[in-house]
Amino acid sequence: MKRRTFLQGTLASGAIAMAAGSGLLAPSGVLAAWNKGAFEAKGLSEAMKNSLGTDQVADSSDIKIKAPDIAENGAVVPVTVTSNIPGTESISIFAEQNATPLSSVFKFGKSTDGYVSTRIKMGKTSQVIAVVTAGGKQFKSQKEVKVTIGGCGG
């Protein structure tokens, strides 16, 4: 309740921004805080280690990545991941050549399909890697997406 009051309070919105930015305020409450170490990791290996605990992940042909072979606009690259691995618990999407490769982690409820579709920014041509966690194990698939105009804004 204290957190909610603090958030709704009119005092020092600057303090809220600062607290939220430094990770002191965890809006998700009892659930795990946003994984700063994973999202700010600068290379694929570090991003995988910080988000998955390892960068050694077996390939699986049961994970399908649908993404354009050539993305005309790197700011908006549609990526759809379908996992046919039973018991899929989460899907993480990495863009290998992005300055910070981890783009997103989708955790699923018990009745949720191993499927997600979204749009990501890609700075340049790169492998798009989808990692599925299922039954405590991890599997991956990847697809190269060529980017003609980079989308991270520089």
Partner 1 sequence: MAKSSIKIRAKLKGDTVTVKALIRHPMETGLRKDKKTGKMIPAKFIQTVKCESAGAMVLDADWGISISKNPYLSFKFKGAKSGDPIKLSWVDNTGKSDSTEGKIK
Which residue, 55 or 80, is less far from partner 1 as judged by CB? 80
Torsion of CA 41, 42, 43, 45, to 10 degrees: -20
Which residue, 17 or 137, is less far from partner 1 as judged by CB? 17
Residue 70 touching partner 1 (CB under 8 A)? no
| Closest CB 129 distance from partner 1, rounded Å | 12
Q: Which of 10, 28, 56, 61 binds partner 1 (CB under 8 A)?
A: 28
Q: Which of residues 86-125 bind partner 1 (CB under 8 A)?
A: 95, 98-113, 115-122
Question: E strands, 26-83, where?
Answer: 58-59, 63-66, 70-71, 77-83
State the Cα–Cα distance between residues 72 and 52, nearest whole angstrom.
31
Which residue, 107 or 137, is less far from partner 1 as judged by CB? 107
Q: How many residues bind partner 1 (CB under 8 A)?
A: 47
Cβ neighbours of residue 89 under 8 Å, at least 6 residues apart?
107, 108, 133, 134, 135
Cβ neighbours of residue 48 under 8 Å, at least 6 residues apart?
54, 55, 57, 94, 102, 131
Residue 64 touching partner 1 (CB under 8 A)? no
Cβ neighbours of residue 22 under 8 Å, at least 6 residues apart?
none
Which residue, 58 or 144, is less far from partner 1 as judged by CB? 144
Residue 53 touching partner 1 (CB under 8 A)? no
**CB contact at 8 A, 32 and 26:** no
Residue 83 touching partner 1 (CB under 8 A)? no
Q: Which residues would be at the binding site for partner 1 (CB under 8 A)?
A: 7, 16-17, 19-21, 25, 27-28, 31, 34-35, 39, 75-78, 80, 95, 98-113, 115-122, 151-154
